[in-house]
């Protein structure tokens, strides 16, 4: 199987699992659940849950052990996108080429849809933990839950720093802090959770953490580049809006050419780190290249 086929299979797998949620047509909060589904199924790439599943698969064929965490991670990711698009933060009208949640519904519904997705992500994980009977797996899942909660906290810290630093000239250290948390936190912990639940050793976990930190940073640098020179038909949102809003990005700090060089260096470091896994790392290596070369 080639990379594109395997990626599509992972994406379809996650889409099918996510499609099962919020289908109660008789509830009083029907419109809220519609708003949750609207963003959850809007057409994301599912990078975070795929990273988790593929990392787990390095160590075990039973990668479904981390499925509740993969579902939860995608819910959290979409929750912050809903909030990120709202007028009080980025004030964006489109996401994935579709109206953002607050444009499709309204600001109150969008705010609560994001809150509800955050909450439901934790329900999915804790329900799975409550039903687990294997003592060893319970211990592993508690550690993974701790990683999951930390990821949310770090992501929110990065998001906050992004909002308060508009118009400021940041140092490289400040810029990397923002990016490694705002975007990198969920990516990093997706990989770490997959490794933990797969049974990775401490040394293997450290190698994969280094890989994840680098691709997390790379993902945001690529977003910075696409925001400046991407095709809005492919990105699904306006081009140039980061510069218009005086956002601190790698492009506004270094320019397109240097940002691309940094992106290449970070991806190369990420790929070098996981070659110790041999042929098993092929999908993750290709996924790193996909992150670097994507157009949306």
pTM: 0.95
Helix (H) or strand (E) holding 94: strand 94-95
Torsion on CA atoms 122, 128, 134, 136, rounded to nearest 10: -20
Q: Percentage of the chain with pLDDT > 70?
A: 99
pLDDT of residue 239: 75
More confident residue, 197 or 234: 197
Q: Which two tokens stand for residue 263?
A: 């992106």
pLDDT band at 27, cuts 50/70/90? confident
C-alpha distances in angstroms, 134 versus 32, 71, 185, 210?
36, 21, 29, 30
pLDDT of residue 59: 97
pLDDT of residue 231: 80
Is residue 171 predicted with pLDDT exceeding 70?
yes
* Mean pLDDT computed over 130-135: 93
**What domains are defined for the chain?**
3-293 (1.10.600.10)
pLDDT of residue 208: 98
Around 34, how many Cα atoms within 13 Å sit in the side-chain half-sphere?
A: 12
pLDDT band at 104, cuts 50/70/90? very high
Query: Angle 53-78-149 (CA atoms, 0-180°, nearest 5)?
Result: 65
SS3 99: strand
Is residue 1 predicted with pLDDT exceeding 90?
no
pLDDT of residue 158: 95
Is residue 24 predicted with pLDDT exceeding 80?
no
Q: Any bridge partners for residue 99, and if so which?
A: 94
C-alpha distances in angstroms, 158 versus 23, 80, 133, 135, 186?
33, 11, 36, 35, 11
Task: Report the distance separating Cα 217 and Cα 208, nearest Å.
Answer: 14
Task: Report the distance separating Cα 242 and Cα 166, nearest Å.
Answer: 10
- Provide the mean pLDDT of the chain: 93
CB 185 within 8 A of CB 147: no
Distance, CA of 264 to chain centre = 20
Span 149-167, pLDDT tens digits: 999 999 999 999 999 998 8
* Mean pLDDT computed over 196-218: 97
| Residue 81: count of CB within 10 angstroms of its CB | 21
pLDDT band at 269, cuts 50/70/90? very high
SS3 296: coil
């Amino acid at each position: 199987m080639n990379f594109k086929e395997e990626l599509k299979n992972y994406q379809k797998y996650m889409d099918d699992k996510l499609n099962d949620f919020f289908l109660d047509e008789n509830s009083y909060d029907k419109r809220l659940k519609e708003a949750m589904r609207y963003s959850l199924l809007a057409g994301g790439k599912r990078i975070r849950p795929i990273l988790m599943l593929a990392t787990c698969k390095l160590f075990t064929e039973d990668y479904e052990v981390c499925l509740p965490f993969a579902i939860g991670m995608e819910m959290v990711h979409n929750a912050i996108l809903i909030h990120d698009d709202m007028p009080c933060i980025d004030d964006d009208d489109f996401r994935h080429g579709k109206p953002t949640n607050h444009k499709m519904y309204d600001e109150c519904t969008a705010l609560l849809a994001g809150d509800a997705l955050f909450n439901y992500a934790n329900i999915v994980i804790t329900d799975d933990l409550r039903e687990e009977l294997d003592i060893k797996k319970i211990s592993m899942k508690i550690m993974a839950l701790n990683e999951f909660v930390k990821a949310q906290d770090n992501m929110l810290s990065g998001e906050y720093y992004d909002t308060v630093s508009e118009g400021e000239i940041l140092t490289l250290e400040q810029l990397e802090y923002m990016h490694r948390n705002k975007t990198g936190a969920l990516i990093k912990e997706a990989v770490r959770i997959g490794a933990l639940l797969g049974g990775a050793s401490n040394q293997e976990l450290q190698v994969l953490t280094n890989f994840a930190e680098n691709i997390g940073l790379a993902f945001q640098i690529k977003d910075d580049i696409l925001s400046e020179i991407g095709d809005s038909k492919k990105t699904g949102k306006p081009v140039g809006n980061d510069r218009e809003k005086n956002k601190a990005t790698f492009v506004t700090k270094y320019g397109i050419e240097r940002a691309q060089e940094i992106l290449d260096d970070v991806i190369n470091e990420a790929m070098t780190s996981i070659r110790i896994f041999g042929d098993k790392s092929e999908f993750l290596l290709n996924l790193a290249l996909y992150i670097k070369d994507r157009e949306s």
